[in-house]
Amino acid sequence: MMRIATGDFEDRHRLINRRGTWSAKWESLPSDHISLSVAEMEFVCAPAIRSAIANAAVRGIYSYTEVFPDFAGACTSWFTRRHGTEFGEESVVFVPRIVEATAMICAHMLPARAKVITLSPAYDPIMEVVRRCGCQVTEPAMRYADGAWQIPFDQLATMLPDADLFILTNPHNPTGRAFTPKELERLAALLDQSSCLVLSDDIHCDILRAGQQWSPLARYADAGLRTRLITALSPSKSFNIAGLEASALIVPDPALRARIRDGLRAAGFHNPNYFAIPAAIAAWTQCEEWLDTTLAYIDNNMARFAPRFAALFAKEKPVIPEATYLFWCDTRALGAAAAKEVCTAAGVHPSYGEGFGAQWRDYLRFNLAAPQSLLDAALERCEAAAQKLK
């Protein structure tokens, strides 16, 4: 993978006022507060995406659309070129959002009160839909050991034989782990011994620190596991187009794919959002340079700001995430309550750890995909608030 160390960062440095845009992240905050929460970037999209949207908008008729083979072609070409991962175009199923696809799987493809297993901490909106679909959720916790977050294989070994669905998040949100081939081989071996459906949510797979790689679980799945495996991918995080709602499920097994298509029909999914397909195709075919520059900027932000957040809140030196633009920061130096007080007094809004499971209240997740001036301002305010509260 081609990576650059520096770049033309002018667009990434630019602070954009998103108030007045119905932004989920900004709109309800007081005007002088800073949000470092929702996993989206504070950067304008690549020019090719903006052109694709502008060209679609100018036509003035925003009618029903359909998915044609160019969507699957753009998707497979991206993953072959960027990650050396090949899957057949026939295995690609369009879905608007991964949270919705997860809800469909739980509601239409699992038995009543299905047993669902995922690693904790876990991205809450996914777990909310799983619970609301009536599933029983078990969340073995990742363990911090030897300076890294580890999969609790021993617990999974006892839980998986009884499961209906296992949800992996790779790379993992919020710890930022990009699981290694060795870990995924071990996981695939455990999954081989179960009969559950497997959903690998790989939405963050393009957001890698320099030198890191994404390995899809599918690469280590034998023929049996491949009949039960669904990989969820999307241009939404990588190219900052979450609001346009274009994602893909990669389902190599034809029978499972037919069940998924049935489930999607039953759940009322058809006809993508008018802007979704042109944006996704532009992203996957024309925006690689934009992504490289953005990743270099985020790498710089991680190196520069994660240690400062850690110095303020954490006892240990920061674990720089291998993937994602999210910094999972422990707050044991200050204590969870004091850390919250500092953020509140500073008017800075991270994602709070308890949102990822009650046992994670000692953690804050900071989104560092933002202009350096915004991160500087957030840190300065937190540092000043911490001084005052001493």
Contact set with ligand PLP (CB under 6 A): 39, 97-99, 123, 126, 169, 173, 201, 203, 234, 236, 242, 247
CB of 242 to ligand PLP, least distance (A): 5
Residue 355 vs 371, nearer CB to ligand PLP: 355
Structure tokens at 111: 């038995």
CB of 10 to ligand PLP, least distance (A): 27
Structure tokens at 36: 């470092």
H-helix or E-strand spanning residue 116: strand 115-118
How many CB atoms neighbour CB 63 within 10 A? 7
CB of 301 to ligand PLP, least distance (A): 18
CB of 335 to ligand PLP, least distance (A): 27
Tell me if residue 312 falls in helix, strand or coil: helix
Residue 173 vs 175, nearer CB to ligand PLP: 173
H-helix or E-strand spanning residue 144: strand 143-145
Residue 201 vs 206, nearer CB to ligand PLP: 201
For helices 336-346 and 372-389, give the axis angle rounded to 10 degrees. 120
H helices present in 209-275, as ranges: 223-226, 254-266
CB of 164 to ligand PLP, least distance (A): 20
CB of 140 to ligand PLP, least distance (A): 17
Residue 203 vs 306, nearer CB to ligand PLP: 203
**185, 188, 193, 194 alpha-carbon torsion, rounded to 10°:** 160
Residue 236 vs 240, nearer CB to ligand PLP: 236
CB of 209 to ligand PLP, least distance (A): 17
**188, 190, 191, 195 alpha-carbon torsion, rounded to 10°:** 150
Residue 173 vs 238, nearer CB to ligand PLP: 173
Comparing C-alpha atoms, which of 174, 234, 229, 172 is closest to residue 203? 234
Are 191 and 166 in contact by the 8 Å Cβ rule? The answer is: yes
- Strand pairing partners for 199? 167, 230
Query: What's the distance, Cα to Cα, between the start and end of the chain in Å?
Result: 47
CB of 18 to ligand PLP, least distance (A): 17
Residue 99 vs 334, nearer CB to ligand PLP: 99
**How many angstroms separate the CA atoms of 10 and 97, rounded?**
31
Residue 251 vs 386, nearer CB to ligand PLP: 251
Neighbour order of strands in the sheet with 326-330: 326-330, 363-367, 351-352
CB of 163 to ligand PLP, least distance (A): 19
Residue 165 vs 312, nearer CB to ligand PLP: 165
Tell me if residue 110 falls in helix, strand or coil: coil
Tokens 């993508």 appear where?
Answer: 272
Comparing C-alpha atoms, which of 160, 140, 144 is closest to residue 152? 140
Q: What's the CA angle centered on 99, arms 96 and 241, to 5 degrees?
A: 50
**How many angstroms separate the CA atoms of 95 and 91, rounded?**
13
CB of 233 to ligand PLP, least distance (A): 10
Residue 123 vs 366, nearer CB to ligand PLP: 123
How many CB atoms neighbour CB 140 within 10 A? 17
